[in-house]
Structure 1
């Protein structure tokens, strides 16, 4: 409801060392105004060392993602990231390796490790979790474009969506990617989170004008009075609101309807 009367209750755990450590609880805090959210975060995370300390916990993957997004300021963690990426750290698993390699690129500016670790995973045909990292690398990952394209024919819908988007980011060629993404946008989707429909809509929007053929389908879905009927842990209304935002944002990126100029209502 974005009622600011909730702010003291949300901020109190951070002040007493109990800042939410899992994703669902942390997402609640995103309802806070940006300035207040930053203040709540800074209470618990005053410097990079705090994040790096999470590498020894069950939240290691989240910590790796945060370090990567912090970027060059976290360059002091580079050696630790190499250990995770290469499996030398005893706590490192496959997902840790890909994420750590990507984070290493983000903090050092050197893409070699990320290209090697994520590219090897993708070429093996089993590296779907490496696809978002190759997508972020973009044209730097051009040597892996064919392997990524092959994964657009994967039996898994989430992998197909990730591969299609990564291929577009790497090559700039939307022609093979758009049909794959379109095929995942089921107009009768009820909101089952096992289906990558919303992710496909988001990626079509990010593709922009080359995916303009998706616009009529997305407008039709948006025009429905009720889109989602799958009650996933009692969050159907919130899920529908999120889906509506995704559809609206995607359509804005795809361009105005035929006969309407940009900027016209």
Structure 2
């Protein structure tokens, strides 16, 4: 068999292994990085689909990846640039930035790494903001806006310098994402409070398919109300809006926001407690979390959350297992009954197998991190 074919098989096998196993031998990652850092196009595909998801696994190879990226930047058409740039971004290495700027100029930033957007938040905000702000200005109605806004939301208050561009997005098809970013920025976004209040009360709404001539309530009205409370420090508008939802049978939609308000949402504890008996698992989990955040009482919440943790969860997005795990960790020691099932899920050798390959490592790493943090919150030995 030709040497190139044998090499291709080796790289393909390594990629399959890291997609399947949580803790592959280091030599497997060695093979993937070697293929990406020094091989020809015939081995790119199988290596690139896992390299962009590598996260902390790429840290030992940062110099190799950065050197290869630097050499590829001399070729304006090399499609491996995006994979290397996102791999470096995932470990917070600023040497990713020239590659990311190249992708942005070519309009490829969100196309190459849309599913890996959270990786960018590991980079310093000062490096990212000029790139993201330029994208928001250049592509007001393009899919790149959703990508940029998702990264800005992850940056939280550090995204404040992008306020002019985010506020401008309130007047377009990505108003919902923009409102979310403004809420994450907090008080620095106070200049947008008036427009958020209009959206929250129905006095105004953004243009587009949910604009002034659309039927029904704009889909971002609850997010706008939450954002208004976060930028002004006044939660009265939001709580009035959410009270109306609870009274009209739409309480499940506002439970995450009520949880965020904590004790300030105390007038709604009876409605929240009733939703803990909902037939829907997602609603039960959200209600249990809101109950605990509002009252500080874990007793009725822990059994509901624990019941939602499937010990055989395979990554299917229809089930709220990761959210329940996160909430149990927030509750801490009173959720000690969850230790065995969380430990079992963390010790599993194989990755979540339901997730699409382009998301599998990212999804599994996020879940294992959630499990680890939950066990630390509860207080127990965490498997290595």
3-state DSSP of counterpart to 2:355: coil
| Greater displacement, 58-67 / 117-126 | 117-126
What is the rounded CA distance, in whole Å, between the counterparts of 1:127 and 1:55 in structure 2? Answer: 26
Of 163, 177, 184, 1:62 maps to: 177
3-state DSSP of counterpart to 1:237: helix
CA contact (8 A) 1:228 1:240 kept: yes
Q: 1:96 to 1:231 in 2, by over 3 A?
A: closer
Structure 2: 5+ residue runs without aligned partners?
Answer: 1-53, 56-64, 70-84, 86-95, 137-160, 211-216
Aligned to 1:253: 377
| Greater displacement, 72-81 / 9-18 | 9-18
What is the rounded CA distance, in whole Å, between the counterparts of 1:38 and 1:210 in structure 2? Answer: 41
Matches within 5 A, 1:215-234: 215-232=339-356, 234=358
CA contact (8 A) 1:205 1:253 kept: yes
Q: TM-score, normalised by structure 2?
A: 0.61
Aligned to 1:239: 363
Of 138, 144, 152, 2:268 maps to: 144
Aligned to 1:71: 186
CA contact (8 A) 1:222 1:247 kept: yes
Matches within 5 A, 1:1-265: 1-2=54-55, 3-4=65-66, 5=69, 6=85, 7=96, 8-14=98-104, 20=110, 24=115, 26-30=117-121, 32=123, 36-38=127-129, 40-41=131-132, 46-91=161-206, 93-232=217-356, 234-257=358-381
3-state DSSP of counterpart to 2:193: helix
What is the rounded CA distance, in whole Å, between the counterparts of 1:255 and 1:25 in structure 2? Answer: 31
Shift of 1:23: 6.3
CA contact (8 A) 2:284 2:304 kept: yes
CA contact (8 A) 1:97 1:117 kept: no
What is the rounded CA distance, in whole Å, between the counterparts of 1:222 and 1:25 in structure 2? Answer: 23
Q: TM-score, normalised by structure 1?
A: 0.86
What is the rounded CA distance, in whole Å, between the counterparts of 1:255 and 1:116 in structure 2? Answer: 38
What is the rounded CA distance, in whole Å, between the counterparts of 2:205 and 2:125 in structure 1? Answer: 37
CA contact (8 A) 2:351 2:360 kept: no
| Greater displacement, 102-111 / 235-244 | 235-244
CA contact (8 A) 1:122 1:131 kept: no
What is the rounded CA distance, in whole Å, between the counterparts of 2:351 and 2:278 in structure 1? Answer: 27
Between Structure 1 and Structure 2, whose CA radius of gyration is higher?
2
What is the rounded CA distance, in whole Å, between the counterparts of 2:180 and 2:169 in structure 1? Answer: 11
| CA root-mean-square deviation | 2.7
CA contact (8 A) 2:190 2:231 kept: yes
Q: 1:100 to 1:34 in 2, by over 3 A?
A: closer
| Greater displacement, 17-26 / 181-190 | 17-26
3-state DSSP of counterpart to 2:266: helix
| Greater displacement, 122-131 / 73-82 | 122-131
| Greater displacement, 179-188 / 1-10 | 1-10
Shift of 1:34: 5.5
What is the rounded CA distance, in whole Å, between the counterparts of 1:190 and 1:157 in structure 2? Answer: 17
CA contact (8 A) 2:351 2:361 kept: no
CA contact (8 A) 1:161 1:196 kept: yes
Q: 1:96 to 1:32 in 2, by over 3 A?
A: same
What is the rounded CA distance, in whole Å, between the counterparts of 2:135 and 2:177 in structure 1? Answer: 15
